[in-house]
A and B are shown apart, each in its own frame.
Chain A
Amino acid sequence: MAGIVVLMGIYTMLALALNLRFGTAGLIDLGVVGFFAIGAYSYVILTAPAPGTADAYMFGFHLPMFIGFVGSGLISAFFAFLVGLPAIRLKGEYLAIATYAFAEVIQYLFTNEKWLTNGVKGFIGIEQPFRKFFVSANSYQYFYAFLIVLAVACFWYILSRLERSPFGRTLKAIRENEDAARAAGKDIERFKMWAFVIGAAIIGFAGSFYVWFTSLVVPSLFVSEVTWVAWIALTIGGTGNYKGMILGAAIIVGIQEATRFLQASAELATILAASRFIAMGLILVLIIRFKPKGILPERNTVN
């Protein structure tokens, strides 16, 4: 149960970040998992102990957890800035493809550059925050779920304030009409860059939370499915509506867990695993068909 809340929370964080990038600023970003991976690996490399004899990685800075956490957001944001420098001016689908390709390149880099990431072996046994205050792993689980809920609440608060600020208003204007926003004297690339970078920071932090949850980091965790899951959560819940995102994340996790818990014979297990993909696809297709603005659509704000 606690695990479900944690996963829901992490998907919600991704959806929240995506909502800032897409829902508010109109950026079609298919590279969510790239920043997620950068966040996760940044945390691990900053906090990992020096490599042992069996390890291929060169850097383990053994820094305090807190610095690793802050680093995961900042480094992810920094990479978003580097990617954004040339890419942010790309229109719609071109930005989508560029970010998609970026995320794939990141996955290949993290798989192959063993000196940095320890390759497919990755990092295991990652220490969890405040773990020492808990006797059993079980009781810690509940505490961690609580921590995740707290973090989601934090991001929710920050993002909703941002969205209602003049900054968010200008982003929305750019989403609505770039030509008119330019005529209004807005440097649209700068605003988009901010949305892109802030989104990356949140995705990076989510990477840290994910690492604490799985307690290991390997490249195979960071496949494009993560990006699609974030998009599906956002789309079925309702772009622009925070409650919708939580609902969307809950539905996705529900589908994933329902097909995982029903343990059966090996043959049946394959079919159950496959039905997870079918259910995810079907719900996305059906929601778009019958409720294109999501289950909980955005309400227009009125001053």
Chain B
Amino acid sequence: MVLEVKNVSKVFGGLRAVHEASFQVKENSITGLIGPNGAGKSTLFNCIAGYYPPSAGEIFFKQEKTSGFTADEIAKRGLARTFQTPQGFAQMTVMENLMVVPKGQVGEKPWQGLINGKKVKEQEEEIRKKAFKLLADFGLSEQKNDLIANLSAGEARIVEIARQLMLDPEVLLLDEPAAGINPALQNHLIQVLLKLRQQGLTLLIVDHNLGFISSLCDYIYVLHLGQIIAEGTPQEIFRNPRVVEVYLGGIA
């Protein structure tokens, strides 16, 4: 298990957003976390990524306890996330957005950046190549010099995924990746995600859109009112009466 969430709770003021949720993500799987709006998905997601400290419970990433770590420490360990509304460095180009990310950049130390020695230059070249290749894979080569602020919502989402891949993550957490993207781009996104899995990446996808998630996931957890109420393969989930009641019933 690359990611284990054990009895995690999160309370805001008096509000219990997540209550003793436990689940696991297997290496190289695509795992889904679904639930209707307000189920606590995003809260749980933010606990895993280190944006909120959990009120109780523990989270393990690669057998290391990461609950209590800051978001950047978790990201550096190889757990990359995206946001529900894509977040980027708006007044910087697509290329710059990607080049910011890699860990251990020597030139990030001010004196090294100032001297701009051989090591820094070599590393910059490497990073540039890597970013260029990623953008090509995602079909975004032409936009490399565009400002993030000028991208469409769909492009911004794909750039965000590409940017987070610059971390060389082992697990990628995606928060409603299909939201606000047209069907053509959605298909493209599905192809991209399946290919990433083939390359060895583990994906955890949070969504309330069952259609998108069921075509991708090997295993799904259902969150309702802050608690995990069901788990199984997509087929099992669709047949689970509890899920049908609280989730599908709620939508119909």
Contacts and interface: CB of A to CB of B under 8 A. Distances in A.
A184 B163 contact: yes
B113 A162 contact: yes
B72 to A, nearest CB: 5
A166 B120 contact: yes
B96 interface: yes
Given A173-B89, A177-B88, A182 B71 contact: yes
A185 interface: yes
Interface stretch (B23-31, B53-61, B102-110, B208-216): B102-110
Contacts of A300: 91-93, 147
Interface stretch (A108-116, A186-194, A249-257): A186-194
A179 B71 CA distance: 9
Contact of B72 (A173, A177, A185, A302): A185
B87 interface: yes
A266 B167 CA distance: 68
B75 A166 contact: no
A168 B113 contact: yes
B37 interface: no
B113 to A, nearest CB: 3
B89 A162 contact: no
Contacts of A183: 49, 71, 75, 80-83, 87, 164
B107 A165 contact: yes
A302 B88 contact: no
A169 B89 CA distance: 10
Nearest to A157: B114
A172 interface: yes
A168 B107 CA distance: 9
A107 B72 CA distance: 38
Contacts of A158: 114
A165 B106 CA distance: 10
Contact of A184 (B70, B100, B144): B100
B90 interface: yes
Given A165-B120, A182-B75, A172 B108 contact: no
Given A161-B113, A165-B114, A177 B105 contact: no
Residue among A158, A180, A185, A188 having the largest count of chain B Cβ atoms under 10 Å? A185
A169 B100 contact: yes
A270 interface: no
Interface in B203-221: none
Contacts of A173: 89, 92, 96-97, 100
A249 to B, nearest CB: 24
B192 interface: no
Contacts of A176: 88-92
Nearest to A166: B107
Interface in B68-88: 70-72, 75-76, 80-83, 87-88
A230 B48 CA distance: 43
The contact size tier of chain A is 20 to 34
Residue among B108, B114, B166 having the largest count of chain A Cβ atoms under 10 Å? B108
A180 B147 contact: no
B232 to A, nearest CB: 30
A303 interface: yes
B75 A185 contact: yes
Nearest to B99: A169
A19 interface: no
Contacts of B49: 183
A80 to B, nearest CB: 14
Nearest to A303: B95
A284 B166 CA distance: 42
B91 A185 contact: no
B75 A167 contact: no
Contacts of A198: 110
A170 interface: yes
Contacts of A165: 107, 110, 112-114, 116, 120
B155 interface: no
Nearest to A195: B110
Nearest to A178: B87
A161 B91 CA distance: 19
Given A169-B96, A185-B103, A300-B91, A162 B71 contact: no
Interface of A: 158, 161-162, 165-170, 172-173, 176-177, 179-188, 191, 194, 198, 300-303
Given A161-B114, A183-B81, 13 more contacts: A161-B116, A165-B110, A166-B99, A166-B124, A167-B110, A169-B99, A172-B91, A179-B87, A182-B71, A184-B101, A185-B72, A194-B110, A301-B96
Return the 5 tightest CB-CB contacts between A and B, nearest first.
A165-B113, A166-B107, A185-B75, A167-B113, A176-B89
18 contacts: A158-B114, A165-B113, A165-B114, A172-B89, A173-B97, A176-B91, A177-B90, A181-B89, A183-B81, A183-B164, A184-B75, A185-B101, A187-B70, A191-B108, A300-B91, A301-B96, A303-B93, A303-B144
